[in-house]
Amino acid sequence: MVSIFKTLCIAIAFTFNFYLIAQAQIPYPSKPIRLVVPFTPGGVTDTSGRLIAEQLSKKLGQQVIVDNKSGASGNIGTQLVASAEPDGYTLLLAFDGTMVINPHVFEKVPFDTMKDFASIGKIGDAVLILVAHPGLNAKTLKEVVSLSQSQSGGLSYGTSGTGGTPHIAGELLKLKTNANLIHVPYKGGGQAMTDVLGGNIPLVYTAIAGAIQHVKSGKLHAVAVSSGQRANSLPQVPTFIESGVADFEINSWVGLMAPSKTPKAILDKLNSELNAVLSDTDIRERLNALGITAMPGSAQKFGDEVKRDLIRYGQVVKSAGIKSE
């Protein structure tokens, strides 16, 4: 009986090892890949994800299918990827708001950014901009801060919602300048833009893509951009650093991640192909039209940025007392 049991165990072990070897010899990818986008279709983040998915499909020889799983400010779709098999066939379109802000503003999130995910690479940065109604008696950042401090009620600034990157940027600006700025959250950047155009609020902090046409037409005045360098699309607008706020660089980023424990060989292949896509001039221009600056680079560099932002945004959230609504 013992001999039979040993023989059976050896047979099972042999079969399992054979399966692992066979799986390892199958070239990746050998079937379609699902790219989970944790937001509804149509937004800038979703559009950039679809562009990357289309191009990766060509590079990898397998279709990369976009699967929108929205809800709970991106937490639902993100958790789905966190619990997926780490085989390279379920990927996440990672957004800074979900990955490094949600863990601080929500009482509980169903994933751990640093433990549950492996970085593939950054797609790019969306430059943020502070814009004002042209009737506001302040044009430079210094004048905006001074005006806010001179008014007992302060100056209101609108954003796309509580806990988003523009909100974090606005609160960090308050901490660094002692400006008397009052946050007004909207259900989307479009509503905030409508109100500042109508003069109902004096300021809006938003992604540059949502404001550029109004700045160029003169309907809004651009105060400053929060990127490290001036934006190519609005080179006449100074950065916050140039305007006197040291070490003030905040971009809303988007990238690709996979479940943790995904084999390094698969992560390396995906990173290589993603960087090839992002190095294409046409793709860079198409991303730029969405307000996103392509940022090819290593998985480690992207992972380091995620870790850095998770820490520093947590400090801002705590100082400002931001909580999800």
- CATH number attached to the domain at 127-225: 3.40.190.10
% pLDDT > 90, the chain: 77
- CATH number attached to the domain at 10-125+252-320: 3.40.190.150
Q: 10-125+252-320 and 127-225 share one CATH topology? A: yes
Q: Where are the alpha helices (DSSP H) in 61-128?
A: 75-82, 96, 102-105
* 317, two tokens: 């959230």
pLDDT digits (tens, 9 = 90+) for 237-253: 999 999 999 999 998 99
Which of 147, 152, 159 minimizes the C-alpha distance to 207?
Answer: 159
Bridging pattern class, strands 90-95 and 155-159: unpaired
* 282, two tokens: 């046409």
pLDDT digits (tens, 9 = 90+) for 110-142: 999 999 999 999 999 999 999 999 999 999 999
The string of DSSP codes covering 138-186 is --SHHHHHHHHHHSTT-EEEEESSTTSHHHHHHHHHHHHH---EEEEE-
290 or 124, greater pLDDT = 124
pLDDT digits (tens, 9 = 90+) for 296-320: 999 999 999 999 999 999 999 998 8
- For residue 202, what are the contacts with CB-CB under 8 A and spacing of at least 6? 132, 133, 136, 155, 156, 157, 196
Domain-by-domain residue ranges, the chain?
A: 10-125+252-320, 127-225
Mean pLDDT confidence for 138-152: 96
Mean pLDDT confidence for 67-91: 96
Give the single-character DSSP code of 131.
E
- Between CA 101 and CA 53, with CA 91 as vertex, the angle to 5 degrees is 105
Q: What is the mean pLDDT of the chain?
A: 91
For the chain, the first-to-last Cα distance in angstroms comes to 64
**113 and 306 Cβ atoms separated by less than 8 Å:** yes
- Is residue 25 over pLDDT 70? no
